Amino acid sequence: MDMQTSLLDRLFETGLLIDTGIEGLYGRSGSFEEVITRFEALIDEVGGADGAEAIRFPPGMNRAYFEGSGYMKSFPQLAGTVHSFCGNELDHMHLLQCMEAGDDWTKGQEATDIVLTPAACYPLYPTVAKRGALPTEGGLFDLQSYCFRHEPSNDPARMQLFRMREYVRMGTPEQVMAFRNDWMERGKALMARVELPVEIDVANDPFFGRAGRMMKNNQRDQNLKFELLIPITSTAKPTACMSFNYHQDHFGKSWDISTADGEVAHTACVGFGLERIALALFQHHGLDVGEWPARVRATLGY
Ligand code: 5GP
Ligand code: ZN
């Protein structure tokens, strides 16, 4: 049995994750959720004093905002749209007949104005743009959202619906680069406190198609994105548990966000993959939180 299936089976057996019959879509036990709550409190302890504005968006976003973000250019294969039945009574009868016959009843579903959020920060940029120019000190935001990515897998570290905690910085290139560098150091220090082995590497996002290959090279060559990797289901291929993204002026230009000086704002975000971090803790310290090393338990306030 491979490492991925074996960890997933053990998580199901202990009830930490609950099988829904769909790969990457799981229920979480109270104990699993508590790890995430406590880890988020640790994030607050490290980042709380920076005075970020906290905003929580639901896991679905305005379709127009999604379209403006450019996500479909890079990752069309990962996006999930929300569709609904919009027909009349006759259409409804056909729908029920179709379901009864075991045929594809989803063909008549129509797109709504909501798209599932692919990354916690996507709804933020147009929201901030509407406020007008940034103040001199720029902007700093604290976000958390369930995110959707259509990538079914039996690797428990690759979920279709998972939570991302993010800090997002907007301002001058200097302001956002300083933020990103700061968080790379903070991220390493934070993981050391919960005794998880990490390495930092440049990221390799799954950009789609031939045009995507160029974006992939660009991301790598310009060091636009780093990841903090922790072995979870493979020692040879550790899993990205945090990412540190420099978007340059991409979102600033897309949404017309400007600095106090009237320049196009640069943006950066740091993301914590909350389920992945919980899984890393369970994989390295055991599935029973009561058995975790005393120092790790103390850091998490158990
Ligand atoms: P990114 O936008 O960099 O791809 O994702 C941000 C963070 O979300 C990643 O560093 C990772 O920790 C988490 N993440 C990305 N994809 C998945 C996934 O498929 N499953 C889970 N559980 N977390 C993910
Ligand atoms: Zn982000």
Q: How is the chain split into domains, by residue range?
A: 3-80+118-299, 84-115
Count Cβ atoms below 10 Å from residue 75 Cβ, excluding itself. 20
Helix or strand (DSSP H, E) at 214: helix 209-221
Is 270 touching ligand 1 by the criterion CB < 6 Å?
A: no
Q: Is residue 67 over pLDDT 80?
A: yes
Domain 3-80+118-299: which topology?
Answer: BirA Bifunctional Protein; domain 2 (3.30.930)
Q: Which residues surround ligand 2, an ion (CB under 5 A)?
A: 119, 121, 269
Task: Kindly state the average pLDDT of the residues 197-225.
Answer: 90
Q: Is residue 1 over pLDDT 70?
A: no
**Given the CA of residue 245, which atom of ligand 1 is nearest to it?**
3
One-letter amino acid identity for 44? D
* 105 DSSP 8-state letter: G
Ligand minimally distant from the alpha carbon of residue 120: 2
CA of 166 to the centre of ligand 2 (A): 6
Is 276 touching ligand 1 by the criterion CB < 6 Å?
A: yes
Q: Is residue 210 over pLDDT 90?
A: no
200 beta partners: 228
pLDDT digits (tens, 9 = 90+) for 16-33: 999 999 999 999 999 999
pLDDT score, position 14: 98
Closest listed residue to residue 169, CA positions, set 180, 158, 160: 180
Q: Is residue 63 over pLDDT 90?
A: yes
Task: Kindly state the average pLDDT of the residues 121-140.
Answer: 98
pLDDT score, position 5: 73
Task: Kindly state the average pLDDT of the residues 216-245.
Answer: 94
pLDDT score, position 159: 98
User: Checking phi first, is residue 149 left (phi over 0); if not, alpha (psi -120 to 50) or beta?
Assistant: beta
Residue 158 CA: distances (Å) to CA of 78, 143, 147: 12, 21, 12
Query: Which of 43, 71, 116, 162 is the pocket-test mutation for ligand 1 (most atoms within 8 Å of CB)?
Result: 162
pTM of the model: 0.96
CA of 73 to the centre of ligand 1 (A): 19
What average pLDDT does the structure give for the chain? Answer: 96
Q: Is residue 302 over pLDDT 80?
A: yes
pLDDT digits (tens, 9 = 90+) for 69-120: 999 999 999 999 999 999 999 999 999 999 999 999 998 899 999 999 999 9
Q: For the chain, first and last CA: distance in Å?
A: 33
CA distance linking residue 167 with residue 157, whole number of Å: 22
pLDDT digits (tens, 9 = 90+) for 237-256: 999 999 999 999 999 999 99
CA of 53 to the centre of ligand 2 (A): 15
pLDDT score, position 221: 85
Ligand minimally distant from the alpha carbon of residue 247: 2
Task: Kindly state the average pLDDT of the residues 231-241.
Answer: 96
pLDDT score, position 29: 98
Q: Is residue 7 over pLDDT 80?
A: yes
**Cβ within 8 Å of residue 145, ≥6 positions away:** 56, 57, 58, 59, 117, 120, 163, 164
Instruction: Report the nearest-CA residue for atom 14 of ligand 1.
Output: 273
